[in-house]
Amino acid sequence: MISASIVSLRQANIYQGDSMVLNNVNLEVGVGEFIYMIGRTGSGKSSLLKTMYGDLYLRDGEGVVAGFNLKELTWKKIPLLRRNLGIVFQDFRLLTDRNVYDNLEFVLKATGWKDKALMREKIENVLSKVGLKNKGIKMPYEMSGGEQQRVDIARALLNNPKLILADEPTGNLDPDTTDEIMQLLFNICRDYQTAFIMATHDYGIIQKYPARVVRIENNEVREISAAGV
């Protein structure tokens, strides 16, 4: 693994249950790098992301994510790995029975934060980063899809992650809101040197916001150029 890598996978086979969905994955992701992962539905994009954040065990090959050896992950180490990661979902997955502030506080408490003043400071900081300052009292149902996705991104930023894994984060958004979210993601990547791996099937986004692209097809991951999508 090169010293500047935040993700290093070598000869990794990715399984979903007993079925191998990806074969011989070799992938290096540098600090502060933005990467698109493209492929058809069911091609293995989500399985690869789940392996990176410890939801699926790496059986074969080598894998290091944010300094954690995926082959040595135990149930006790998985929360430690995830404190170094941010995860952004297509469907937001916000807790609907509490406001934005309480959604974010819930994550901080779950990852070991205890000081109320520090938690408030951190929550206000990430909400400001995503353009939602003073929106902490809002309930999720009072917000637009774009605002909810910004809350999801704020949640991913809470523990100053080295890497954010985004699974179709613009899949439920209209074009104008998609533009806003993509600009936000690229700004975070640039300003905080946070690496991004974004699974998407929207080739228009890649053309408009070019970055490194890997394609998943025929159970393999291969490098392509943005122009080749």
pLDDT, tens only, 176-187: 999 999 999 999
The reply to whether 219 falls in a domain is: no
State the Cα–Cα distance between residues 189 and 195, nearest whole angstrom. Answer: 6
Residue at 156 is within a domain: yes
- Segment 15-71, tens digit of pLDDT: 988 899 999 999 999 999 999 999 888 888 989 999 999 999 999 999 999 999 999
Lookup: tokens for 110? 């779950």
In order of 102, 106, 123, the CA distances from 97 in angstroms are: 9, 12, 18
Would 154 be classed as within a structural domain? yes
Q: Which two tokens stand for residue 34?
A: 């933005």
How do beta strands 60-65 and 220-224 pair?
unpaired
Answer yes or no: is 96 within a domain: yes
Residue 119 belongs to some domain of the structure: yes
The β-bridge partners of 38 are 200, 215
pLDDT digits (tens, 9 = 90+) for 78-114: 988 988 999 887 777 889 999 999 999 999 998 889 9
Number of domains in the chain: 1
Pairwise CA distance, residues 53 & 57, whole Å: 9
Answer whether residue 132 is part of any domain.
yes
Residue 103 lies in a domain: yes
- Count how many residues are written for the chain: 229
- For the chain, strand residue ranges (E) read 5-16, 19-30, 34-38, 60-65, 68-69, 85-88, 163-167, 195-200, 212-217, 220-224
Spatial CB neighbours of 42, under 8 Å, sequence gap ≥ 6:
none
What percent of the residues of the chain are helix, what percent strand, and what percent coil, each to the nearest 5? 35, 30, 35
The helix/strand/coil state of 210 is coil
Main-chain dihedrals φ then ψ at residue 211, nearest 5 degrees: -160, 180
Tell me, yes or no, whether 126 lies in a domain. Answer: yes
Q: Tell me the residue ranges of DSSP E strands in 101-219.
A: 163-167, 195-200, 212-217
pLDDT of residue 3: 45
For residue 23, report the phi and psi dihedrals to the nearest 5 degrees: -120, 130
Domain assignment of residue 125, given as a range: 85-160
* pLDDT tens track for 126-149: 999 999 998 999 999 999 989 998
